[in-house]
Amino acid sequence: MSKMTKFLHLYLLLMLVSSTLCKAQNRSDLLIVNSNTETKEVLTSNVPSTINRTIKQDKKGNIWFAAFDGVYRYDGQSFVNVMKDVSSARFFSVTEDRNGNFWFTSIGSGVYYYNPSAGKKSIRNFTNKDGLVNDSVPYSYEDKRGNMWFGTLGGASRYDGKVFQNYKPNGGLPNANKDDNDVNAIIEDKTGKFWFGTRGNAYVFDGRKFTVLTNNGEKFTNVRSIIEDKKGNIWLGGSDGLWRYDPSGALRAGGQLFTNFTKDFIGFIYEDKNGNIWTSAKNGYTGRWELARYEAKSLSNQKPTVSKINPEFEANAGMIFGILEAHDGSIWFGALDGVRRFDGKVITHFKNKK
């Protein structure tokens, strides 16, 4: 088959998919491409087998997984649960700080510090007794000064290596919305402002006060993921869908600060090395969770190109969690039953040997 024939076949396929699916989207200008993928299983030892929330790659190339059955390190050959025999906590996030040390957060057991060069004897557990605002901690983040931030189900804690300073986005007022203190995400942007996603409202923090984030008077609620891309745009995802905040004006449509890309529920946002934006999203019409990739070169267009990868999950059961592009270009993501790797054609599901 000639290149021209292949191109025509692809073009006709895109037009068919676009005409049948775009009507079902909240924005009619999205061009949707469904990617058919093959799924295979690989049996190994010590791999996460329950809910996997966060995936990160460290400076040495190891991949780390925060899961409900431990914290795992993958060196490209095998998996090791570094928290085995240390804690049975449900782990939510893992962050490597600038010194090469790791912070693991959990639901109910606080935060664990780990120095890999010293091994398990270095592990220290920080809880409410040490000043942490709450022991249920879904999120961790290191700011530009090297402070560690922890988003908890009772506010945010900043740790400077000595003491915790705690913050209540809702001001701690008796009649305030309690959900505003359930912190899902924290980032510091290029200007030094902090963005907070909570189960209630989203906030911007200037170091002195928290301000509710709004767009034309509408609040952003239950924001699950926030990132700043390479160009300085802020991306927010959650119950209100996927949004981009463009402070420079370079990508604004009609002069708007905010652009909405989908109303589907967004669980996670990630930017790859080429500037493509990946999301985990629950399709509002099928009820299925999907990986979606928004092509970098089309993000300023009225019709951004979106590739959707549909893993073989049961409807309403296969939530997708953290996303990572590894150094080799493969995409890793978490699910209810462990971890998967996508190489562009095949999704590999790592499963424990029985």
Q: Does some domain include residue 86? A: yes
The answer, yes or no, to whether residue 45 has pLDDT greater than 70, is: yes
Q: Between residues 174 and 288, which one has the greater pLDDT?
A: 288
Q: Does some domain include residue 1? A: no
Q: How confident is the model at residue 22 (pLDDT cuts 50, 70, 90)?
A: very low
Q: Does some domain include residue 3? A: no
Report the alpha-carbon distance of residue 43 to residue 33 in Å, rounded.
31
Percent share of the chain, pLDDT over 70: 85
Q: Does some domain include residue 21? A: no
Q: How confident is the model at residue 4 (pLDDT cuts 50, 70, 90)?
A: very low
Q: Does some domain include residue 239? A: yes
Whether 73 and 56 have beta carbons less than 8 Å apart is answered as no
Percent share of the chain, pLDDT over 90: 70
Number of domains comprising the chain: 1
Report the alpha-carbon distance of residue 327 to residue 62 in Å, rounded.
10
Bridge partners of residue 252, in order along the sequence: none
Q: Does some domain include residue 299? A: yes
The answer, yes or no, to whether residue 322 has pLDDT greater than 70, is: yes
- Mean pLDDT across the chain: 87
pLDDT 10s digits, 168-177: 998 876 777 8
**pLDDT for the residue numbered 18:** 34
**pLDDT for the residue numbered 19:** 32
Q: Does some domain include residue 47? A: yes
CATH code assigned at 197 = 2.130.10.10
Q: Can you give the residue range of the structural domain that contains 291? A: 30-352
Taking residues 119-145, what's their average pLDDT? 96
pLDDT 10s digits, 156-166: 999 999 999 99
The answer, yes or no, to whether residue 21 has pLDDT greater than 70, is: no
pTM above 0.85, yes or no: yes
Region of poorest pLDDT, from 204-213, 240-249, 269-278: 240-249
